[in-house]
C-alpha cells in the first residue's frame, strides 16, 4: 500500500534555541524576581503592537481586515486546566516569521545581553525582566510549556510553535480550524505555583494596573463558555487632557510602552497647534537601558498618524536623546506615509525640531526646580547628552549650559560651567580640564598639583566623549577650554594659596644643567624637556605640545588605530623636587643617564601607561639601586 505524498502529514520540526537564548531562559526560570506579573504586560504589549501594525498595513491593503476591522486583545482563562490564553486579531506571523521572532533574541548582541543580565543578577537578584526587556520569554517564568498559533493576515495557512523553555522548540503547520482567523494565540500551561494567573481577580487587577492604557481594547473571558467582558476600551492616553491624568497613569503607560520597570524621571506631554498639529508624549527614564551605548541603538519614539501606528523607526529626536521613550501622533501626515517620505518630510522635520526643543527645555526647567531629579537624569544620561555638543551645532550653547561636571572642587557633586566661571581666580583666563579614565585616577594626577596649590578648579572629564567635544568648542562665556596636560600651564600670574610659597625661586644653575642633560640624553623620545610650573609634589610629568590633541585624545586615537604620526610628548621636570636637586648634584654621567630614562618611564606610569621597554626599565632600576646600596 502506498501513501500519497500530498496526504502525508507534515511532522513538527524540532529546533534548538540559539545557545545564548537557551542560557537566558535558564536564568529567567531559575532566578528570583520581585514581580512575575510583568509577563502578562509583555504579552499584551506584543499583542497591541501586532494590532497596530495591522492597522498600518491595512491602509494600503484594506482587504487584510476582512469582516473583522476592530482590533482587540482577548485574555481567556481556564482555572480548571491551569491554562491562560492571550489572543489578538493583529497582523499575525508566518512560519518563518515565527521561527525568527521566537527563536532568537537581540541577534546582534545576545551574548553581551546575557552577560549583562548575569552581572545584574549577582548585584540585585530581582527586577531583571523590565530592566532588560526580554518580552515574550518572560512567559516561562509562570509556564512549563508555551504554545503559539498564528496566522498571517491575508494568508491561507497557519503555523504553531511549542516549547518548554529548556533548550528546544518545535514548529509545524496548524490547521485553519485550530488557528485564529487572523492574528496570534499564545497558550500558557501554567506552573502549579502560578495558578493564580488563571483567576479572574488576578487577571483583572493586573491588566488594569499594567496595561490599562494600551491603545487596543482588552477583553477577558474568565472561564470556558463565559461571556467576554471589556476591561479596557483602548482609549489612547495621549489624547486625554493632562488635567485628567495622574502620575500613576503616566508611569503605567511608560512601563507598558517601553517594557520598562523603573519610574520615569520626567514626563513631557503636550499638544502642538498652528502650522503643524501633533501630540507628543515622551518619557525620560530614571535608569540606563542596557544597550544605551550600542552603536546600532536607535531612538525609542513611535510615530502615529491620527492614532494609527506607522513606525517605531522614525528619527523623531537626535541621536544624543536616544534614551527618551514615547510617541508622536501627527494630524498632518498622510496615512499612507512611506519610509522615504518619513526621511524627507518637512512636517517631520518641524516635529523633530519642536520635540527636541521641548524635551531639552523641560530638562533645563527641571535643573532649576528639582535639582535631585535632574541629577538622576544627568548621572544616567549625561555622557550621551554630551554627544550633542559636537553633533548639534544649533543647540551647542544650550547643551553646554545644561551640562554638569565633576571637578576638583565639587567632591561627589556636580558643577555647571556658569558656576565654574563665577568662581574664576584672579588672572585666570581659561576653563581648565583634565580628560582621562577613572575619576579617582584623574584626581591623583600630578598635572593638577600646581592648580591645586593655587585653588584653581579643574573639570574632571572621565567620559570618552569628553575628549572630542571639548576640542571643538571655542569656550564658554568668553573663556576658552584648556587641557592641563597640554602646553604651558601659564600659572605664574595666579597667586598660590600659601603665601609662604608665593615667590618661586629661580631654577638653580645645576638643575638647569641637568634639564639640558636630560634633553640631550632622551633625544627624539620627547619633543622637549623643560622646567615645570604645574608640578609641586611629583618630580616629573608628560604633557602634549601646544597644538594638536591633548594626552587623553592621543591615547584614544592610538587605541583606535588613528594616531598617525603622533606628536612626541614634552617631559616637564619639577626643579624644586628633592630628587631632581640630588641628581643635579651628581657628576656620575652613567647614573644620571639611567636616572633620566627612569624619570621618563615614571612619567609614563603616572600618565597611566607602561614603560616603553620593561626589560630596559628593570635593568636601569637595578643598576641605580645597586649604586645606591653600594
Question: What is the C-alpha to C-alpha distance for residues 280 and 269, in angstroms, rounded to an integer?
Answer: 6
Pick from 528, 611, 629: nearest CA to 572: 528
Q: Per the structure block, which three cell numbers stand in for 211? A: 496595561
Q: Which residues are annotated as a binding site for ATP?
A: 42, 46, 88, 93, 108-109, 131-136, 184, 339
Rounded CA-CA distance 284/286 in Å is: 7
155 closest CA partner among 173, 181, 132, 123: 181
Nearest Cα residue to 214 out of 362, 75, 19: 75
**Strand arrangement, sheet containing 83-88:** 13-16, 168-174, 158-163, 143-151, 183-190, 83-88, 73-78, 218-221, 229-232
What residue ranges in 258-347 does DSSP mark as E strands?
A: 264-272, 278-285, 300-305, 308-311, 325-330
Do residues 512 and 506 touch, judged by C-beta distance below 8 A? no
Buried/exposed code over 92-112 (b: 16+ C-beta within 10 A; e: otherwise): bbebeebbebbbebbeebbee
| Range list of β-strands (E), 391-493 | 404-407, 415-416, 431-435, 459-461, 481-483
- Give the integer Cα–Cα distance in Å for 61 and 63: 5
Q: Do 581 and 511 meet the contact criterion of CB atoms below 8 Å apart?
A: yes
Which of the 8 DSSP states describes residue 312? S
198 within 8 A of 82, measured Cβ to Cβ: yes
For cell 540585585, the residue is 124
In a 13 Å sphere around the CA of 294, the CA atoms on its Cβ side amount to: 18
Q: Which of 477, 367, 450, 369 is nearest to 414 (CA)?
A: 367
**CA-CA-CA-CA torsion sign (150, 92, 140, 218):** negative
Of residues 302, 301, 304, 300, the one with CA closest to residue 333: 304
DSSP state letters, 154-188:
T-S-EEEEEE-SSSEEEEEEE-TTTS-SSEEEEEE
User: Which residues lie closer than 8 Å to 202 by C-beta, 6 or more apart?
Assistant: 196
Q: Which is nearest to 260 in space by CA: 35, 442, 435?
A: 35
591 close to 624: Cβ distance less than 8 angstroms? yes
CA distance 406 to 433: 10
Contacts 24+ apart (CB under 8 A), 295-300: 296/108, 297/322, 298/322, 299/324, 300/258, 300/324, 300/325, 300/326
Annotated binding site: 42, 46, 88, 93, 108-109, 131-136, 184, 339
Cα separation, 171 vs 10, in Å, equals 11
Dihedral class, residue 608 (left if φ above 0, else alpha if ψ from -120 to 50, else beta): left
Amino acid at each position: 500500500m502506498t501513501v500519497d505524498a500530498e496526504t502525508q502529514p507534515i511532522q513538527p520540526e524540532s529546533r534548538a534555541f540559539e545557545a545564548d537564548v537557551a542560557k537566558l531562559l535558564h536564568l529567567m526560570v531559575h532566578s528570583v524576581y520581585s514581580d512575575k506579573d510583568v509577563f502578562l504586560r509583555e504579552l499584551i504589549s506584543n499583542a497591541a503592537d501586532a494590532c497596530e501594525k495591522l492597522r498600518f498595513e491595512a491602509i494600503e491593503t484594506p482587504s487584510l481586515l476582512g469582516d473583522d476591522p476592530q482590533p482587540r486583545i482577548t485574555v481567556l482563562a481556564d482555572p480548571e486546566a491551569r491554562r491562560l490564553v492571550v489572543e489578538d486579531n493583529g497582523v499575525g506571523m508566518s512560519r518563518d516569521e515565527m521561527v525568527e521572532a521566537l527563536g532568537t533574541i537581540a541577534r546582534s548582541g545576545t551574548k553581551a545581553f546575557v552577560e549583562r543580565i548575569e552581572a545584574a543578577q549577582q548585584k540585585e537578584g530581582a527586577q531583571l525582566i523590565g530592566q532588560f526587556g526580554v518580552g515574550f520569554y518572560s512567559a516561562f517564568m509562570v509556564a512549563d510549556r508555551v504554545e503559539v498559533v498564528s496566522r498571517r493576515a491575508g494568508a491561507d495557512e497557519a503555523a504553531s510553535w511549542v516549547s518548554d523553555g529548556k533548550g528546544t522548540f518545535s514548529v509545524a503547520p496548524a490547521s485553519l480550524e485550530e488557528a485564529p482567523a487572523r492574528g496570534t494565540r499564545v497558550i500558557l500551561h501554567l506552573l502549579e505555583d502560578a495558578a493564580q494567573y488563571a483567576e479572574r481577580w488576578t487577571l483583572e487587577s493586573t491588566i488594569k494596573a499594567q496595561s490599562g492604557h494600551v491603545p487596543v481594547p482588552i477583553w477577558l473571558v474568565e472561564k470556558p463558555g463565559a461571556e467576554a467582558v471589556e476591561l479596557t476600551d483602548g482609549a489612547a492616553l495621549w489624547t486625554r487632557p493632562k488635567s485628567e491624568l495622574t502620575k500613576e497613569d503616566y508611569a503605567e503607560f511608560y512601563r507598558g510602552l517601553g517594557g520598562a520597570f523603573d519610574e520615569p524621571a520626567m514626563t513631557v506631554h503636550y499638544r502642538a497647534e498652528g502650522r503643524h498639529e501633533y501630540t507628543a508624549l515622551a518619557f525620560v527614564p530614571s535608569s540606563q537601558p542596557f544597550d544605551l551605548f550600542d552603536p546600532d541603538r536607535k531612538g525609542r519614539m513611535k510615530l502615529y498618524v491620527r492614532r494609527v501606528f506607522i513606525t517605531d523607526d522614525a528619527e523623531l529626536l537626535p541621536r544624543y536623546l536616544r534614551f527618551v521613550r514615547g510617541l508622536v501622533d501627527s494630524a498632518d501626515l498622510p496615512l499612507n506615509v512611506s519610509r522615504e517620505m518619513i526621511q524627507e518630510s518637512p512636517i517631520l522635520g518641524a516635529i523633530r525640531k519642536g520635540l527636541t526643543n521641548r524635551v531639552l527645555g523641560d530638562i533645563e526647567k527641571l535643573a532649576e526646580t528639582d535639582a535631585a531629579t535632574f541629577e538622576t537624569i544627568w548621572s544616567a544620561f549625561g555622557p550621551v547628552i554630551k554627544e550633542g555638543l559636537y553633533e548639534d551645532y544649533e543647540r551647542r550653547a544650550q547643551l553646554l549650559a545644561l551640562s554638569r561636571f565633576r571637578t576638583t572642587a565639587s567632591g561627589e557633586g556636580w558643577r555647571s560651567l556658569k558656576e565654574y566661571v563665577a568662581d574664576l581666580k584672579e588672572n585666570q583666563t581659561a576653563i581648565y580640564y583634565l580628560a582621562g579614565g577613572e575619576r579617582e585616577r584623574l584626581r591623583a594626577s600630578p598635572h593638577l598639583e600646581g592648580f591645586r596649590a593655587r585653588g584653581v578648579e579643574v573639570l574632571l572629564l572621565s567620559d570618552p566623549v569628553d575628549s572630542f567635544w571639548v576640542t571643538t568648542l571655542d569656550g564658554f562665556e568668553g573663556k576658552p577650554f584648556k587641557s592641563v596636560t597640554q602646553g604651558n600651564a601659564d600659572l605664574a600670574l595666579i597667586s598660590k594659596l600659601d603665601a609662604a610659597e608665593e615667590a618661586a625661586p629661580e631654577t638653580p644653575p645645576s638643575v638647569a644643567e641637568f634639564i639640558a642633560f636630560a634633553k640631550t640624553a632622551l633625544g627624539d623620545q620627547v619633543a622637549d624637556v623643560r622646567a615645570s610650573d604645574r608640578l609641586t609634589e611629583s618630580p616629573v610629568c608628560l604633557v602634549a605640545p601646544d597644538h594638536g590633541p591633548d594626552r587623553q585624545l592621543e591615547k584614544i586615537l592610538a587605541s583606535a588605530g588613528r594616531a598617525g604620526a603622533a606628536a612626541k610628548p614634552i617631559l616637564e621636570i619639577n626643579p624644586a623636587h628633592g630628587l631632581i636637586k640630588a641628581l643635579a648634584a651628581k657628576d656620575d654621567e652613567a647614573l644620571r643617564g639611567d636616572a633620566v630614562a627612569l624619570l621618563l618611564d615614571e612619567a609614563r606610569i603616572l600618565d597611566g601607561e607602561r614603560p616603553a621597554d620593561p626589560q630596559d626599565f628593570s635593568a636601569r632600576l637595578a643598576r641605580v639601586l645597586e649604586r645606591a646600596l653600594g
